[in-house]
Amino acid sequence: MAKELIINKTFNETRVALIENGEILEYLLDRDGPGGEKRPLVGNIYKGRVVRVLPGMQSAFVDIGHEKAAFLYVDDAYIPTLEEQRDYLLAKEKSEENTPSPGEIIPDEMSTFTESVMSFQRKTTIDQCLKEGDEVLIQVAKEPISTKGPRVTKHITLPGRHIVFMPFIEHTGVSRRIENEEERLRLKDLLDSIRPEGKGIIARTVAEGQSYKILKGDFNMLVRIWKDILKKAEKVRAPNLVYSDLTFIQRVLRDITDEDVDSIVVDCQETYREVERFMLKYLPTMKGKIKLYSEDTPIFEHFGIEIEIERGISNKIFLRSGGSINIDQTEALVSIDVNTGKFVGKKTLEDTILKTNLEAVKEIAYQMRLRNCGGIIIIDFIDMEKEEHRQAVYQALLEALKKDRAKTNVLHISSLGLVEMTRKRTRETLTRVLCERCTYCEGTGTVKTAQTVCYDIMREILKIVKKGQGQKIFIYAHPEVSSFLCSEDFDIIERIEELYQKNLILRAENSYHIEQYEIYSDEG
């Protein structure tokens, strides 16, 4: 089936889904903040002011003009000298430690080169890099997530259509997704001829097959943008935004739209014109692929995207075979549990388990992309006794993750049947964007039963009566709890009245939480 980019605009919300064979490859959402406030987006460049340096954490907080201060780690605060960068490259060539292991998933365009240089014999501390009051030019690397502010870096990168320009890092790189070795060498030679000394360029996946003229034009445009950024940074006072990346729609077209996209379907006339203008200027080969959707059925509903989003915020996902996977997200990690459910198989138990695990692998990889799961992820597959079955599931997981644009690192299946992996997190998960903490259970996912609350109340009453406080004791509780206290099955109230010669008076309060209650005597 065709690969399609579906764009839905509803007032101040824009949703984008890249779909193929009915499966969402990418799902992105953009909303204006309260009062139209714009969030600090990945790629934005600010002139910020250091408000606090934390030597114990080797990090600093930087005011960029938003509600939450940005977090700057020492590896992102220190820019290595050219000598340090070149020393690292020499050491890398001599060492085999940098060769990816079979289980490692290589990131796409954004090279880990700068991170590696920073950790290479680094002796600089945060208080040597920064002090409070310093004004620094920084770029948002991770958007605010949950209660955390944005993470920022001094390692500026400017992405174009075909290349990424790095003004502070001397490096030539080619996207790992370009697998043809001859093409990789051709691109590297072209970039080396374009790149000035002391600067860095990375060829993006869409650079494959492009000419020197195209790449050089892309580079010249990014250099002009960088010069404008430096000029503006000199004129403004911190904190201030000095460069805003493209609009949300334009970034989508630049970053996730390629020649494989057969059509771009838009349900808003204004957005249609914006897409058309961008395509005409930067993606002329895709002219004629833009369509304006005008049917009565909402566009996301028509393409089956709404139901996939609902699955993406559900804890339990059912597999076609009858098995299921449970996905639970916590502050520390994401846990995924695979179950056979109703699936009983047709052959042996081992074959049933293997088939369920293999089916779960595809759904897990899909759900991680859709939900934008990040950080530490633990997958609990159904236990497999045969080593070849464990290896088959592991290899299937690596293969399924090749579609993922986010950087992932996967360890082998442990003896307990667990897979430990990480997935790079740059923005909020789908659940946190679309949902909020339950105000009733306060995010725990559970509440005490009425019976449990009744026994809590009894213990509090016993504390009062044993002190001899008052003749009447008033109890205010949730109606369900009050009803349980008065039921025939729960005869403790009468027993307390008889034993301690007290009068217990119950009152049901509809506004109370089921765990909430108040107890006091007529003596206070």
Eight-class DSSP state of 207: G
> What pLDDT is attached to residue 335?
94
Q: What is the pLDDT at residue 254?
A: 83
Cα gap 328→450, rounded to integer Å: 26
Does residue 254 share a domain with residue 352? no
- Domain shared by 472 and 416, yes or no: no
Looking at residue 464, its pLDDT comes to 85
Q: What letter represents residue 12's amino acid?
A: N
In this prediction, residue 71 carries a pLDDT of 92
Q: Which of 260, 276, 309 is the last residue of a domain?
A: 309
CATH of the domain at 511: 3.40.1260.20
Helices 305-312 and 349-371: angle between axes, nearest 10 degrees: 100
In a domain, 97, yes or no: no
Q: What order do you get walking across the sheet with 163-166 strand by strand?
A: 158-159, 163-166, 200-203, 171-174
Which pLDDT value is given to residue 143?
Answer: 81
Question: How many angstroms separate the CA atoms of 298 and 430, rounded?
Answer: 20
- Average pLDDT score over the chain: 85
Is residue 352 predicted with pLDDT exceeding 90?
Answer: no
Band (pLDDT 50/70/90 cuts) for residue 496 is: confident
User: Global pTM?
Assistant: 0.74
The reply to whether 106 falls in a domain is no
pLDDT for residue 121? 45
Q: Are residues 298 and 258 in the same domain?
A: yes
Is residue 283 located within the same domain as residue 326? no
- Same domain for 374 and 321, yes or no, is yes
Domain shared by 338 and 401, yes or no: yes
Q: Provide the percentage of residues in the chain whose pLDDT is more than 90.
A: 44
Number of separate domains in the chain:
3
Is 383 part of a structural domain of the chain? yes
- Structure tokens that stand for 517 in this block: 């209650």
pLDDT in tens, 99-157: 333 333 333 444 455 555 555 545 678 888 889 999 999 999 888 876 778 899 999 99
Q: Are residues 364 and 303 in the same domain?
A: no
Q: Are residues 427 and 342 both part of a single domain?
A: yes
Residues 317, 430: one domain?
yes
Q: Is the pLDDT of residue 286 over 60?
A: yes
- 326 in the same domain as 423: yes
233 lies in some domain: no
Residue 61 lies in a domain: no
Confidence of residue 342 (pLDDT cuts 50, 70, 90): low
Strands ordered across the beta sheet of 503-508:
503-508, 472-477, 517-521
**Domain-terminating residue out of 434, 465, 496:** 434
327 and 397 share one domain:
yes
Tokens standing for residue 205: 């996946």
Q: Kindly state whether residue 4 falls inside one of the protein's structural domains.
A: yes
Segment 477-502 shows an average pLDDT of 86
Residue 34 lies in a domain: yes
Give the best-scoring range by mean pLDDT among 338-342, 357-361, 486-490.
357-361
Using CA atoms, how far apart are residues 404 and 365, in angstroms rounded to an integer?
8
Helices (H) and strands (E) in the chain, counts: 16, 24
C-alpha–C-alpha distance, residues 81 and 39, integer Å: 33
Q: Does 471 have pLDDT greater than 50?
A: yes
Residue 415 belongs to domain spanning = 313-434
Q: Please report the DSSP string for 445-495 in residue order.
A: S----HHHHHHHHHHHHHHHHHTT--SEEEEEE-HHHHHHHHSTT--HHHH
Residue 242 tokens read as 């000095």
Q: Is 385 exposed, middle or buried (0-12, 13-18, 19+ CB in 10 A)?
A: exposed
Mean pLDDT in residue range 247-270 = 86
Write down which residue in 375, 405, 434 finishes a domain. 434
CATH number of the CATH domain containing 256: 3.30.420.140
Q: What is the pLDDT of residue 101?
A: 35
Residues 264 and 300 in one domain: yes
Q: Which residue has the higher pLDDT, 364 or 321?
A: 364
In angstroms, rounded to a whole number, what is the distance separating the alpha carbons of residues 25 and 4? 10
Which pLDDT value is given to residue 401?
Answer: 92
* Largest Cα span, the chain: 96
112 found inside a domain: no
Q: Higher model confidence: residue 355 or residue 428? A: 355
Buried b (16+ CB within 10 A) or exposed e, 117-132: bbeeeeebebeebbee
351 backbone dihedrals φ, ψ, rounded to 5°: -65, -40
